[in-house]
């Protein structure tokens, strides 16, 4: 069942969670527990806003009028960007000393958007 890409959204969240876990292990081995916590938080910076967006858009249902869909997308994207900025600010305050693992994990999680897109595009073609 793929209602408005909901299955793809859950696949993205799973890929980002796996990326976060792997990054946290790497950060723990190379930089200790503080670096691992920073990496975990970096994953949350990517996962939480994406999850919020997916849940808001999934709530539209399979048949919604275009005006409602567009409005929901714009509002959800605005909140997603604000949430991301807020989480980064918190991350800088809490993990300023270990900002590299936080940032690298966040970037790796965001790269999963492209990986999931490539996987699901090939599956549908």
The reply to whether 70 falls in a domain is yes
Total number of domains constituting the chain? 1
CB 104 within 8 A of CB 45: no
Q: Which domain range does residue 113 map to?
A: 6-120
The reply to whether 1 falls in a domain is no
The reply to whether 54 falls in a domain is yes
The reply to whether 125 falls in a domain is no
CB 87 within 8 A of CB 48: yes
Q: What's this model's pTM, rounded to 2 decimal places?
A: 0.85
The radius of gyration computed from the CA coordinates of the chain, to the nearest angstrom, equals 16
Q: For 4-21, how does the pLDDT look when each residue is reduced to its tens digit (9 = 90+)? A: 455 777 888 899 999 999
**Which of 3-7, 26-30, 55-59, 117-121 reaches the highest mean pLDDT?**
26-30
The reply to whether 72 falls in a domain is yes
Q: Which of 20, 50, 49 is nearest to 36 (CA)?
A: 20
């Amino acid at each position: 069942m793929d209602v408005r890409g909901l299955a793809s959204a859950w696949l993205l969240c799973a890929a980002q969670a796996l990326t976060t876990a792997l990054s946290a292990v790497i950060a723990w081995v190379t930089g200790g527990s503080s670096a691992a916590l920073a990496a975990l938080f970096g994953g949350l910076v990517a996962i939480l806003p994406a999850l919020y967006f997916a849940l808001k858009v999934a709530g539209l249902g399979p048949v919604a009028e275009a005006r409602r869909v567009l409005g929901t997308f714009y509002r959800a994207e605005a909140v997603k960007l604000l949430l991301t900025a807020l989480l980064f600010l918190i991350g800088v305050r809490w993990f300023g000393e270990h900002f590299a693992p936080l940032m690298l994990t966040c970037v790796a999680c965001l790269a999963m958007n492209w990986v999931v897109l490539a996987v699901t595009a090939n599956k549908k073609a």
